[in-house]
Amino acid sequence: MNLRQQLYYLFNPRSVAVIGASNVFGKWGFNILGRVLSSKGDRQIYAINNKDPEVLGLKAYKTLIDVPGPVDLAVITVPFQALHEAMQDCVQKGVKIAIVISSGLAETGDEGARWSRKWWKSPGKVVCASWVQIAWETSPLSPISIPCLSCPR
């Protein structure tokens, strides 16, 4: 997929999944899902939460793989320890673009730095180009892209 197609799916997703969606005010999964819901348009929205059956009024799926339809854009708001599994699910599901929002990696010390190296140096996984990291067949973007979530379709 070329950059133009990636940007199309980023700004015009037909479906959005928030992995790590939350009912807890102030968590990234709450804030992002709320923002996506407020700009819903005609897109499908899926909440992914492995504990709660419903998040912000939406049926919650335990994993991205459980979602019944295709997913163009995934926003991943899980702890860094769960990033690898979340990205694997994105690849298996055929997600076009993923926005990764996580913390606690290299900026927090040795343990976070070890996780960061493990994550970013996984075999065959990442080629970095500025702030866009093209991984596997799904392209994750940094939190700098968060404002795009309020764009109506």
Range of lowest pLDDT (4-13, 63-72, 76-85, 125-134)? 125-134
Domain count, the chain: 1
Residue 148 lies in a domain: no
pTM given for the model: 0.77
The CATH number for 135's domain is 3.40.50.720
Residue with tokens 């163009």: 72
Q: What angle do CA 91, 26, 73 make, to 5 degrees?
A: 20
Residue 150 lies in a domain: no
For residue 109, which amino acid is it?
G
| Winning range, highest mean pLDDT, from 34-38, 112-116, 134-138 | 34-38
Residue 48 lies in a domain: yes
Q: Which domain holds residue 101?
A: 3-143
Residue 153 lies in a domain: no
Contact 75, 13 (CB under 8 A): no
* pLDDT number for residue 147: 40
Contact 47, 57 (CB under 8 A): no
CB count within 10 Å of CB 84 equals 14
* Rounded Cα gap, residues 22 and 34, in angstroms: 10
Residue 44 lies in a domain: yes
For residue 147, which amino acid is it?
P
Per-residue pLDDT reduced to its tens digit, 11-66: 899 999 999 999 999 999 999 999 999 987 889 999 999 999 999 999 999 999 99
